Amino acid sequence: MNIVITGGAGFLGVRLARTLLAQGTLALIGAPAQPITRLTLLDRAAPPADLLADPRVHALTGDLNTQLEQGQALPAGTQLVFHLAAAVSGECEADFDLGMRSNLAATHGLLEACRQGGERPVFVFASSLAVFGNSPEQPLPSVITDTTLPTPQSSYGIQKFIGEQLVADYGRKGFVTARNVRLMTVSVRPGRPNGAASSFLSGMIREPLAGVKAPCPVPPETPVALSSPARTVEGLVRAADASPAEWGARTAINLPALKTTAGDMAAALGKVAGSAATDLLDWTPDPAIVRIVSTWPADIDAARARGLGLLPDTSFEAIVRDYARENPDAVRLPLQP
């Protein structure tokens, strides 16, 4: 099986690639399992050395739009595309043209490459919780379901929702098998902060565990919907292997979410690493971040995902402990039992 991952050198792309390679096979949309013979990773940067050392991995570095224009992004025989590459929320608010090129033009271009290639691959599109936005003119319901009308309140959310509709229509026309998946905020992400408005939801855990001060720019009572890296990748893979009968409509599904608050996240950090960690949190509000994050819903009823056997994380403390176990070199503070 030939698989393409855009954003393949990013955090989720790398984790997805490692998961697929370790798995070795994939039962694409309910068909008998096939061996994974080629994994093409597209990104601006090269993937880690362990992936490059695997003979099944082929890396192509550069701008995705340029790769598409040059006909390089989609190798012949591609059966599955995971489209993860995107400019993130804060970047899109700061640079409208960047968001339109990276999130809208690239998605359309990739779908067109699938159409022109004629292979009709499975197309798993990583959309976002940001397609839902609260506003005084159109308040969100108290619980978000798979059929709740998206009302984005950011350029990023708009671009992701347009992407969902493009994928659905290319699926309706038979150019791809459409699988739209709305990701929750992923925490805890290793590595450096990115330009997402939600970046602090990883930074407020990651940096204190490393002994570094971290901003928490929203009030402690701010509710959020989170998913661990493991549960997120599990959802992406399940989107690819679910049969058409299991999957249902071409419209997007919401992945399961753990509902918590910024304050409860800090409390979980304290249980794992004590006051030495929580004392490093800076609770100075950032109005720009508050304005974006406060429009996002926190209570998600992911019925379709539940029907696929996907469940939310059990606790944020467990997520923090998983991060510490998986990234021992990034933890400098002693951990509590």
Annotated catalytic residues are 156
For residue 185 the two structure tokens come to 């905020």
Q: Identity (one letter) of the amino acid at 45?
A: A
Contact 56, 21 (CB under 8 A): yes
Give me the half-sphere count of Cα atoms (radius 13 Å) on the Cβ side of residue 248.
Answer: 13
Contact 135, 151 (CB under 8 A): yes
Q: What is the CA angle 81-254-301, rounded to 5?
A: 160
Query: How many residues can be counted in the chain?
Result: 337
For residue 323 the two structure tokens come to 């991060």
DSSP string, 206-237: HHHHTT--EE--S-TT-EEEEE-HHHHHHHHH
For residue 248 the two structure tokens come to 């249902």
Taking the chain, what is the end-to-end CA distance rounded to the nearest angstrom?
43
Separation between Cα atoms, residue 144 and residue 292, nearest integer Å:
18
The residue among 293, 57, 85, 252 whose CA lies nearest residue 164 is 252
Residue 22 CB coordination number (10 Å): 7
For residue 247 the two structure tokens come to 């999957």
Residue 33 CB coordination number (10 Å): 13
Separation between Cα atoms, residue 299 and residue 261, nearest integer Å:
11
